[in-house]
């Protein structure tokens, strides 16, 4: 479990996003708002001989896969979030859990260096890190980023990046009957995406971040991470970790009343819906009146990019004035044991 942030909450200065819906955070957020998701046929064939549909970035070559696809997908979003940084900043990057069929040795410092080169972002490569925690990885990355800011970093980039558009990944999903298709009631729409955010110390910390045009969009009010017991354990499927993380986040907001807006990566699979329903019931009145946006219906399943895209969308909604509340509770659940929760609030 991550310790709560102190009162000097970090600020979010800029965000960036790229996915099948858009090439920028604004395009992505507005297309999500307009429900523009359009899954399309791919070159992949499932075990029944049918074409696999997916939400894929048409601005990327269909044959591009693995490391090269992640670099091409992430460079745009990273460049948008980094902007014109005046000095190198470390990047904490959330990637898919390991092992996965598309895994390779370059999913580490080499990927971060390639993203820096392709995007033109000024990164502090020595202090950068990769988090392999899947969909909940952005919460882990945010906790690491706040620690870097506390240790004196003038700014930190955080992000998430993933693509299911890889033949071996699609084959694995197909073998596990996890692809959404006719006759399948428990599958996902494979997708891809990248999201990044630039964090700086709170003005009240006494340190002025040397970030060009640093007008805060939002504050990072709370981050918590937890783990769920493995399958087969006595407490498996009881949402113990998620409930704990939610109670911690909600406890820090108790004096502010019920949460008004929840963004989650609940993707429609039975075990994910069951876990969320269990945790939600345990949180009672503090979540009862909240609007819950399950944006996998608008983005497809974006895996490790989920938290970063939800953060970018929440911040964009807050910036342009269409958010349903002044704060957003983001809830993340990986295929493995990692769980995460964080809260962002409007900066003004």
Per-residue pLDDT at 1: 43
Most confident listed range (39-48, 104-113, 269-278): 104-113
Give pTM, 2 decimals.
0.94
* Distance (Å, whole) CA 118 – CA 140: 25
Burial class of residue 8 (count of CB atoms within 10 Å of its CB; 0-12, 13-18, 19+): middle
Confidence at residue 289, expressed as pLDDT on a 0 to 100 scale? 86
Least confident of 42-46, 75-79, 259-263, 285-289: 285-289
Q: 244 with 119, same domain?
A: no
The reply to whether 210 falls in a domain is no
Out of 14-18, 81-85, 252-256, the most confident range is 14-18
Residue 5 lies in a domain: no
Per the CB < 8 A criterion, the answer to whether 72 and 60 are in contact is yes
Q: Which residue did the predictor score with more confidence, 258 or 236? A: 258
Mean pLDDT computed over 158-182: 93
Residues 340 and 273 in one domain: yes
Q: What is the CATH number of the domain that holds 289?
A: 3.40.47.10
Cβ-count burial 154-192 (b if 16+ within 10 Å, e if not): bbbbbbbbbbbbbbebbbebbeeebbbbeeeeebbbbbb
pLDDT score of 124 more than 50: yes
Mean local confidence (pLDDT), 11-36? 96
Would you say residue 143 lies in a domain? yes
Q: For the chain, how long is the longest CA-to-CA vector?
A: 62
pLDDT at 7 over 80: no
70-116 pLDDT, tens digit each? 999 999 999 999 998 889 999 999 999 999 999 999 999 999 999 99
pLDDT band at 288 (very low <50, low <70, confident <90, very high): confident
Q: Using alpha carbons, select from 115, 122, 51, 48 the residue that is nearest to residue 84.
A: 122
Please say if the pLDDT value at position 185 is more than 80.
Answer: no
> Is beta strand 91-95 parallel, antiparallel or unpaired with respect to 261-264?
unpaired
pLDDT on residue 214: 60
206 pLDDT above the threshold of 70:
no
- Identify whether residues 143 and 174 lie together within a single domain: yes
pLDDT bin (cut points 50, 70, 90) of residue 208 is low
Whether residues 175 and 258 share a domain: the answer is no
120-147 average pLDDT score:
97
Percent of the chain topping pLDDT 90: 77
The answer to whether residue 61 sits within a structural domain is yes
| Residue 6 pLDDT | 46
What pLDDT is attached to residue 2?
47
- The residue written with tokens 């996003």 in the block is 17
User: Which of the four pLDDT bands, split at 50, 70 and 90, describes residue 242?
Assistant: very high
pLDDT reported for residue 312: 98
Which whole number is the average pLDDT over 282-296?
Answer: 89
pLDDT of residue 38: 87
Same domain, 256 and 290: yes
Share of the chain above pLDDT 70, in %: 91
- Whether residue 128 is found in the same domain as residue 21: yes
The parent domain of residue 318 ranges over: 218-346
Angle ∠(66,68,73) on CA atoms, nearest 5: 95
Cα separation values, 278 from 2, 53, 168, 244, Å: 22, 31, 33, 12
Q: Based on the fold, state whether residues 159 and 264 are members of the same structural domain.
A: no
pLDDT beyond 80 at 9: yes
Residues 74, 169, single domain; the answer is yes
- Angstrom distance (rounded) from CA 314 to CA 15: 10
> Do 265 and 117 share a structural domain?
no
Within a domain: 109? yes
pLDDT at 4: 44
Mean pLDDT of 16-25: 97
Average pLDDT value for the chain: 90
- Residue-wise pLDDT for 145-161, tens only, equals 999 999 999 999 999 99
On whether both 148 and 46 belong to a single domain, the answer is yes
Q: CA 290 from chain center: how many Å?
A: 20
Residues 246 and 198 in one domain: no
Distance between CA atoms of 232 and 234, rounded to whole angstroms? 7
Count of structural domains, the chain:
2
β-partners of residue 340 are 225, 332
Task: Specify the pLDDT at position 20.
Answer: 97
Whole-number pLDDT of residue 238? 81
Res 233 pLDDT > 70: no
């Amino acid at each position: 479990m991550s310790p709560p942030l102190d009162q000097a909450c970090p600020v979010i200065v800029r965000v960036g996003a790229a996915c099948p819906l858009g090439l920028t955070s604004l395009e992505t957020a507005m297309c999500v708002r307009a429900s523009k998701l359009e899954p399309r046929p791919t070159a992949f064939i499932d075990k029944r001989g049918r074409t696999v549909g997916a939400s894929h970035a048409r601005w990327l070559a269909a044959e591009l896969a693995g490391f090269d696809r992640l670099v091409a997908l992430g460079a745009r979003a990273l460049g948008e979030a980094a902007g014109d940084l005046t000095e190198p900043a470390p990047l904490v990057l959330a990637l898919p859990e390991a092992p996965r069929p598309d895994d390779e040795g370059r999913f580490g410092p080499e990927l971060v260096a390639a993203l820096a080169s392709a995007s033109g972002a000024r990164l502090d490569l020595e202090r950068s890190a990769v988090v392999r925690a899947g969909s909940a990885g952005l919460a882990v990355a945010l906790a690491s980023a706040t620690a870097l800011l506390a240790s004196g970093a003038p700014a930190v980039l955080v992000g998430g990046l993933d693509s299911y558009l890889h033949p071996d990944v699609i084959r694995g999903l197909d073998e596990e009957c996890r692809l959404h298709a006719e006759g399948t009631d428990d599958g996902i729409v494979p997708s891809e995406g990248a999201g990044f955010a630039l964090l700086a110390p709170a003005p009240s910390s006494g340190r002025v971040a040397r970030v060009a045009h640093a007008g805060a969009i939002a504050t990072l009010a709370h981050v918590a991470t937890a783990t769920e017991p493995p399958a087969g354990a006595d407490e498996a499927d009881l949402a113990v970790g998620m409930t704990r993380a939610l109670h911690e986040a909600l406890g820090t907001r108790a004096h502010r009343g019920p949460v008004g807006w929840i963004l989650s990566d609940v993707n429609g699979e039975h075990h994910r819906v069951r876990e969320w329903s269990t945790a939600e019931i345990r949180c009672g009145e503090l979540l009862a009146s909240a609007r819950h946006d399950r944006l996998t219906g608008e983005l497809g399943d974006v895996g490790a990019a989920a938290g970063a895209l939800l953060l970018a969308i929440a911040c964009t909604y807050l910036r342009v004035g269409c958010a349903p509340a002044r704060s957003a509770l983001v809830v993340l659940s990986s295929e493995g044991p990692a769980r995460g929760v964080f809260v962002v609030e409007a900066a003004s």
